[in-house]
Amino acid sequence: MRRNVNVGIITSGGDCQGLNAAIRGVGKALFKYLDNVEIYGMYDGYRGLIECDYKFMEAKDFSGIITQGGTILGTSRQKYIPGKAIVDENGNDLMPQMLNTYNRLNLDCLVVIGGNGTQKSAKLLMDAGMNVVTLPKTIDNDIWGTDTTFGYQSAVDIATNFIDYIHTTAFSHSRVFVIELMGRDAGWLTLSAGIASGADCILIPEIPYDINKVAEGIMQRRKKGRLYSIIAVAEGAVSKDDVVLSEDERRAIKDRMEQPSVAYKVANQLKDILGTMPHVAVPGHYQRGGPPCPLDRVLATRFGTAAAHLIMDKKYGYMVGMQNNEIVPVPLSEAASRTKFLPKDHPLIQTARDTGIFFGD
């Protein structure tokens, strides 16, 4: 009789909605189709693999978790040198400890669930000789090779709801609100939530903004009797003045900023032009919390079961992705090679412009 199929599961990086649904999809499918399977849930992301800290998971552990946010395994961020090594705080290579755990548990495969950075670090595990299958999770929707990621739609729903509530007070007091949303260096979340909530201005990293054009748009609204404005700004939004700077120069400016984030910078700049201080609202990690929306529960489950089939077929070195509404295996080397930014000619941007939304360009 064939020995057990041994699988490790890791949730790495920032949390989001749908992680438990994905874990459940992997586990339930493996237990359904394999008579001899052992699943090891690594605690707190790569830390569990480094320190051999894990939970031996039984079939019952995968029940009743599809509605839960966060991750039952815990997660953490592990420092890594892009394309080279996963390291500790002192820069020491941690791959030997990770390989030791992998071999000690006699694993056939690691299922690594994470965002853009996790896909890159998972490739390092693959290059070191481990069998790896990955799943794309992030509210940023910025992973190359998949049309969408789980966690994204839940965050869009939350961000949209947040802006919906701001609308009433903005209208009642004829105020300008600057609402900062997540997304890192990609504008997918802010664009979708901005359109869905009827924001008046959307500022995203892919379209550098001119603060004078933003102010002009607000003043044009006032001339038409629209005395309030909602500006949805992505946390990675950048001005036309700053976009020409190098990454190090921009980081130095950010470190010197008195304002805590880009939303406050935009608000202060608008104050100098408009004469009144806009209000700032930042939902922050609220966007990553709570239960996954039904769409993300289904998507994460589809990704999880697809990962299980890849393991059963011994097809390692792939990320499970979605392309044209079909679940497909994407070579991890491809998924980890680049970031999926929002194209400037994306139809959603034109949709926004067609409805009168301006981008400060």
**Could you tell me if 255 and 189 lie in one domain?**
yes
State whether 179 and 87 are in the same domain: no
Entry field: residues in the chain? 361
Q: Which domain holds residue 239?
A: 155-288
What total number of domains does the chain contain? 2
Residues designated as active site? 140
Beta-strand relationship, 5-11 and 37-42: parallel
Longest dimension (CA), the chain: 79
- The number of helix segments (H) and strand segments (E) in the chain equals 13, 13
* pLDDT tens string 292-314: 999 999 999 999 999 999 999 99
Between 27-41, 259-273, 297-311, the lowest mean confidence (pLDDT) is in 259-273
In the predicted structure, residue 235 carries a pLDDT above the cut 90: yes
218-227 contacts: CB < 8 A, separation 24 or more?
Answer: 218/176, 218/270, 218/274, 219/274, 226/200, 227/174
Instruction: Report pLDDT for 90.
Output: 85
HSE on the CB side for 329, CA within 13 Å?
16
Q: Average the pLDDT over each of 57-66, 228-237, 257-266, 267-276 and give the range with the smallest value.
A: 257-266
Distance CA 18, CA 67 (A): 8
In this prediction, residue 249 carries a pLDDT of: 66
* Whether residue 279 is found in the same domain as residue 303: no
361: in domain: no
In a shared domain, residues 9 and 146: yes
pLDDT of amino acid 251: 64
Residue 43 lies in a domain: yes
Both tokens of 141, joined, read 């929707």
pLDDT for the residue numbered 244: 76
pLDDT surpassing 70 at residue 256: no
Residues 95 and 199 occupy one common structural domain: no
Are residues 141 and 9 located together in one domain of the fold? yes
On whether residue 281 sits in a domain, the answer given is yes
Task: Tell whether 280 is covered by a domain.
Answer: yes
Average pLDDT in the chain: 93
- What integer pLDDT is reported at residue 1 of this predicted model? 37
Distance CA(177)–CA(279), nearest Å, equals 5
How much of the chain exceeds pLDDT 70, in percent?
95
CATH number assigned to the domain comprising residue 314: 3.40.50.450
Q: What is the pLDDT of residues 179-189, one digit of tens each?
A: 999 998 999 99
Question: Is it the case that residue 239 has pLDDT exceeding 60?
Answer: yes
pLDDT of 46 higher than 60? yes
